[in-house]
Amino acid sequence: MKIAVFSTKTFDRQFLEAANLDNQHDLAFFDPHLNKDTAILAAGFPAVSIFVNDQADATTLEVLASRGTKLLALRCAGFNNVDLKAAEYFDLSVVRVPAYSPNAVAEYTVGMMLALNRKLYRAYNRVREGNFSLDGLMGFNLHGRTVGIIGTGRIGAIVAKILQGFGCHILVYDVYQNPEVKALGIKYVELSEIFTSSDIISLHCPLTPETHHLINTDAIEQMKDGVMLINTSRGALINAKAVTKGLKSGKIGSLGLDVYEKESDLFFEDLSDTIIQDDVFLRLTTFPNVLITGHQAFFTEEALRNIAETTLGNINEFEKTGDCKNLIRVER
Ligand code: NAD
């Protein structure tokens, strides 16, 4: 099948081309994000593949459908950037990679907690400048601390398991109770208890209308003083302005972000020669107790191989049967 691959990076090309050795697809790689202006590039391509910061809104989908696209193949798990109702209306099927490597994201999340707590990012810079002072580098033991996990699907469940190994007390909240997590002896609690009782809060739920700005002023006010907040899920789970206020007042003791609400203008690009216009983002980068990375939690060899193989597998299945086990269906 002819596949237009949007938001192509070197690693996408490398892993998709390797996965395509067992297939006969005709892959065309495009650097830009998919949006209403770039959708025309996919004219005549029955399949279009996109990633987390592409915008598959109704206008974009209409352009794709009117030029012959039948399948939108996401190279990611989250699908908050796709207007599913519009896709259905324009007779476009949407498939995704539901779990390319939950371990990659879970391990990264715990790495972020450790780096932030023990200020490894500050220590690294200090030592390179011959500054061996320990002032400002004090952390706390994870052992015995309470960690609240919001969302106990594939990633959240692994984070819970890893942190149990550290001797943390785990509290979890989800709209659905995962039997695997319950089997670990972990307690499901109300969201308010996660906020009031946790020393560390880690977000692992999808971005939906219900979870949009889940971490807002009201939620932050309920949290323990000095709470550590980690978001490796989706940027808009957090209201960045409310979090900035929480950091300024000291309510939030530290913040680790691998995602950011307006990341599509920033992440995955080298902007070191440009003037970044997003003042909210720039303010966040000025705090010594904030660690931000550019959506790299998924970025392991295993995950990239899995993404490429599953994406092409989804396209093969759709081509043969008109259906796919990883099809995203519109909820009614
Ligand atoms: P998953 O679907 O396995 O789990 C998500 C869990 O969230 C489910 O258990 C679901 O019931 C729960 N949930 C849904 N609505 C909720 C709500 N209102 N409140 C609390 N919980 C709710 O997904 P996953 O594979 O564990 O991924 C979690 C998120 O991580 C994804 O949605 C994606 O946004 C993000 N992600 C980030 C990266 C990265 O590189 N940073 C990579 C992959 C996934």
- The yes-or-no verdict on residue 163 having pLDDT over 80 is yes
Domain definitions of the chain by residue range: 2-100+300-321, 102-292
Q: What is the pLDDT of residue 100?
A: 86
What's the mean pLDDT when you consider all of the chain?
Answer: 97
Range 2-100+300-321: architecture per CATH: 3-Layer(aba) Sandwich (3.40)
| 50 pLDDT tier (thresholds 50, 70, 90) | very high
Range 102-292: architecture per CATH: 3-Layer(aba) Sandwich (3.40)
Average pLDDT over residues 167-182: 98
Residues 6+ apart with CB under 8 A from 8: 29, 30, 31
Find out whether 146 and 199 touch, Cβ atoms under 8 Å. Answer: yes
Average pLDDT over residues 178-185: 98
In this structure, of 66-70, 255-259, 264-268, the range with the lowest mean pLDDT score is 264-268
Find out whether 151 and 210 touch, Cβ atoms under 8 Å. Answer: no
Instruction: Give the model confidence (pLDDT) of 288-318 as tens digits.
Output: 999 999 999 999 999 999 999 999 999 999 9
Q: What is the pLDDT of residue 331?
A: 78
Q: What is the pLDDT of residue 165?
A: 98
Catalytic residue among 33, 96, 204, 234: 234
Quote the CA–CA distance of 42 and 56 in Å, as a whole number: 13
Which residues line the pocket of ligand 1, CB cutoff 6 A? Answer: 77-78, 99, 102, 105, 150-156, 173-176, 178, 204-206, 208, 210-211, 232-234, 258-259, 295, 297-298
**Identical topology for domains 2-100+300-321 and 102-292:** yes
Nearest alpha carbon to residue 75 among 125, 122, 38, 27: 27
Instruction: Give the N- to C-terminal CA distance of the chain in Å, as an integer.
Output: 31
Spell out a b/e string for 274-309, using b for 16 or more CB atoms within 10 Å of the CB, else e.
Answer: eeeebeebeebeeeebbbbbebebbbbeebbebbbb
- In the residue annotation, 143 being an active-site residue is answered as no
Q: What percent of the chain has pLDDT over 70?
A: 100
- In the residue annotation, 126 being an active-site residue is answered as no
DSSP, res 291: E
What is the pTM assigned to this prediction? 0.93
Average pLDDT over residues 127-153: 98
